[in-house]
A and B are shown apart, each in its own frame.
Chain A
Amino acid sequence: MTDNSELEDPELAPETGTLPLDAWHRARRGRMVEFAGYWMPVQYVAEHGGIIAEHLWTRSHAGLFDVSHMGQLFLSGDGVEAALEAVLPIDLATLKPFAPRYSLLLDEDGGVLDDLMVTRWNDGFYLVVNGATKWEDLGHLREHLPDEVTINHLDEHALLALQGPEAFAALERVVTGEYSLSTLTFMKGGRFTLAGHEAWISRSGYTGEDGFEISIAAEAAEAVADLLCAQPEVKPIGLGARDSLRLEAGLPLYGHDLSPETSPIEAGLLFGINKLRRSEGGFLGSGRVLADIANGAPRQRIGLLIEGRQAAREGAAVLSGGREVGVVTSGGFSPSLERPIAMALVEAGIDPASTLEIDVRGKRLTAAITPLPFVPHRYHRGA
């Protein structure tokens, strides 16, 4: 047997990757699990540790999340602008420099392949895509973008998120730059210096709180994480609380609330289809998306408040008057509301005042439809 033949064995699982902060998490007693092909901390075993404590800490102070598993891409070259508009339902004429915008990667049938952030930098576009889908995304982009467009995978970069009402105070104390951190409002970004390293910082995140996302070189990650966690407001937070925070914020998670079987209109992501593109189309999957906009989508994503203490999980059937009308796409216990909540994809036209039932292992839980988000967003939109 040679090494080569082993590599070709399809049964051989790819090795789980390690991210720049792997040792840093382990030293802080992060419980490491495999996620999106990497070892990542699901929670920390410390005095503030545990998903509920980490969640509540983020809602009241500031949490530092390592999201280095996500794909950071830089697209540049001749014709990148037109090429990107052929792939994404984005209107780049309205995209100001250094202001991230939410967009969607769609297939030919209008199904969602991924959701992502697009930022115009001086000489190209910076994209942040989901970790679990980044390799497929790279293939999809390479297939649909012309050869003149260079796709640079910034895999030597780490990505951190500092989230919570005290995130600004903590970051402002340690960041330096040509302009003040306060010039950034929600969905604005800029270049700063942190712990002596260059950092791309945007005021954005995935918790519903004010906060920042920080892209740095991999070799700067430990110094930056140490500096931020030395601030009294900041504690490291694992993936478990990241999920419960985004669920309370009503934010969809790719692979759960979004999939190739979901159209963006069903998922309630009309805002991800920029206004001009809603009438002009001309992007991958625009046929179905424009039809859904014109005729209404057959299904809709809703929020559910569940009675009692038992949670409904992804895949549980949603019923109305005994008839199955949809399925739970994300569900769990809300630490802030101290009750179970869920998002579901259900038939369009269900009376929002109606009471639904969820089948959890043969047991029927009662659920009320509620507007999203479950917990109000507290973004810093400025004056």
Chain B
Amino acid sequence: MPRYYTQDHEWIDVAGPSDLITGTVGITDYAQGQLGDITYVDLPAPGTVLKKGDAPCVVDSVKAASDVYAPVSGEVTEANGALEGEPELVNTQPETGGWLFRLTLSDVDQLDGLMDRPAYDAYVAGL
């Protein structure tokens, strides 16, 4: 399951047959470290139609509220309900159990503009 990264520190795992690619979106370990203790996550409702770059999700930390951007366009199919009771999962398991939402991709070509892990690691190292 390939994983892609954005310059805004989201990750997206993609899977599925070529005519129905689904993606799981979260924020990276680097991002959660920058945000600090996460106290609330405002998640998009299933059915929400997103354009790449939309901000369907807000991650609240003690310090500030931060937008999470859609890495690609698509329709939200599911939000991570576990975060309602345990928003700190985004701190403790940012790239696994702390995922944010899932969507079906409407334009798979948009993945071409994203980074793979080595590219993202190099990007973070340069910040």
- A residues near B (Cβ < 8 Å) are 42-43, 50-53, 55, 240, 243-244, 308-311, 313, 332-333, 335, 340, 360-361, 363
Contact = CB atoms under 8 A, between A and B. Distances in A.
B40 A52 contact: no
B63 A310 contact: no
A43 to B, nearest CB: 6
Interface in B48-67: 58, 60-65
Given A51-B63, A310-B42, 11 more contacts: A51-B61, A51-B62, A55-B62, A240-B36, A240-B63, A310-B40, A311-B60, A313-B64, A333-B39, A333-B62, A340-B39
8 contacts: A43-B36, A51-B36, A55-B62, A309-B87, A310-B60, A311-B39, A313-B64, A333-B60
A313 B61 CA distance: 11
Chain B interface size band reads 10 to 19
* Interface residue SS majority, chain A: mixed
Contacts of B39: 309, 311, 333, 340
A313 B65 contact: yes
A354 B76 CA distance: 37
B95 to A, nearest CB: 19
B37 interface: yes
Nearest to B91: A50
A53 B63 CA distance: 13
Contacts of B36: 42-43, 50-51, 240
Contacts of B42: 310, 363
A332 B40 contact: no
Contacts of A55: 62
Contacts of A240: 36, 62-63
Nearest to A310: B40
Contacts of B58: 310, 361
A52 B62 contact: yes
Contacts of A340: 39-40
Interface string B10-43: 0000000000000000000000000011011010
A311 to B, nearest CB: 5
A363 B65 CA distance: 14
A353 to B, nearest CB: 27
